[in-house]
Structure 1
Amino acid sequence: MAERCSRFAESRDKALELFASKGFGQVGMRELASHLGLAPGSLYHHYPSKQHLLLDLIEEFYDELLGTLARIERRRKAPDDLLRTLIRAHLKLHREMPRHFRLVERDSGCLNPDQQQRVRQLREHYEHRLLTLLGPLPRLGDAALRATGHAVASLLNSAPGWLDEQPLTDHERETLLEQLLSGALERLLTPSSQSAVA
């Protein structure tokens, strides 16, 4: 049983690789099954459609993001350290799961409306947890809080791609991204910027 689960996890990684390289919309079920070394019927046994597999991979991504926030919360640090820890954790996650980030950003729109609703719920839950971790923003209304959570999550999750084309060492890239994100988020989270929005 464990061997079967391990083989199926390996297949999911191969599917993720194929979707990330070609684009979800460019891959048919037969090609996917062939790439995984499975008969199409065997693939359909696990997933009734490739959208179900895509949703599963996206749920895996949000589970990992939420797990990262939970680990940071358990090790709760001072506000300055908390922000730095949060940024570093997202940069590390981006290094470990670049295909998931690309898939979520590029291919979520390929899901059916119910599945897209599920992804919205996952995203909103993650954004809410992120804001809760960063601390109270009392001067913002509900809509502005939701927008802030979305903006902060978007910054953290898209930043690693900003410098892809730049000839920097890994250390230079990480340091620059950390400084850019810290500057943007510290400004957003200071009381004077809150009163300006309110």
Structure 2
Amino acid sequence: MARTAGSHSDITGPRVRDAALKLFAQGGFAAVSMRAIAAEVGVQAGALYNYTPDKQTLLFDLMERHMNELLAAGTDDPSLAPQERLKKFVAFHIRFHHARPDAVFIAYMELRNLTEENFARIEALRSRYESGLETILRDGVAAGVFQVSDTKIATLAIIAMLTGVNTWFRTGGRLSLEEVTAQYWDMVRRAVT
């Protein structure tokens, strides 16, 4: 099938992903058709198949891209004290996710719509991210500065708490993102010491 006149794969491909991200976040994966995505991009529905074989692959690609960006952006410096590493993790997690609310929403709420194989691949990426925080917690326990009886549960609880900022925080509200981050750091610090 010929490409629509004036379209370019390096422009239209990202537009397809952006439109799918927006529409999946607004209406949910199951409710969004390929026709709706095509209409948002301004192409014929059939043209989408030049960029993705199907809607499932598009969903998986969005989630995988988000997780890979998260893993690439997050860094841990084991030479720092565990408290400092944890503080940096808290600030990073809140900032990174705040800048990507649609991707975060989809990464958590649309897991149920992945095929078994795609789910396993996304879960493996999520586990890699979680293990970074768990390593910080284990190192803090080993150093005697954190008191955590189960580092896996603490890891999941901290990530859930930090990710929850996206559900209620609004720029221009009572507190700035920096003030919220400072308060969340205080809560996390007290939870592990």
2:112 paired residue number: 109
> Aligned partners of 1:186 and 1:74: how far apart in 2?
18
Percent identity over paired residues? 27
Moved over 6 A (4+): none
Shift of 1:17: 1.2
In structure 1, stretches of 5+ residues that fail to align are: 191-198
1:98 paired residue number: 101
1:146 paired residue number: 152
Matching of residue 89 in structure 1 with residue 95 in structure 2: no
> Aligned partners of 1:79 and 1:148: how far apart in 2?
15
- Counterpart among 8, 13, 17 of residue 8 in structure 1: 13
Total equivalences in the alignment: 181
Name the structure where helix makes up a greater proportion of residues: 1
**Stretch of structure 1 that moved more, 11-20 or 127-136:** 127-136
TM-score of the aligned structures, taking structure 1 as reference length: 0.76
TM-score of the aligned structures, taking structure 2 as reference length: 0.78
Contact kept? 2:63, 2:122, Cα under 8 Å: yes
> Aligned partners of 2:57 and 2:90: how far apart in 1?
31
> Aligned partners of 1:76 and 1:13: how far apart in 2?
38
1:66 paired residue number: 71
Amino acid at match of 2:95: K
CA RMSD across the alignment: 2.7
> Aligned partners of 2:168 and 2:102: how far apart in 1?
16
> Aligned partners of 1:103 and 1:81: how far apart in 2?
30
Shift of 1:38: 2.7
> Structure 1 residues 140, 168: CA separation in 2 closer, same or farther (over 3 Å shift)?
closer
> Aligned partners of 2:83 and 2:132: how far apart in 1?
18
Contact kept? 1:47, 1:53, Cα under 8 Å: yes
1:19 paired residue number: 24
> Aligned partners of 1:17 and 1:75: how far apart in 2?
37
Contact kept? 1:130, 1:149, Cα under 8 Å: yes
In structure 2, stretches of 5+ residues that fail to align are: 1-7
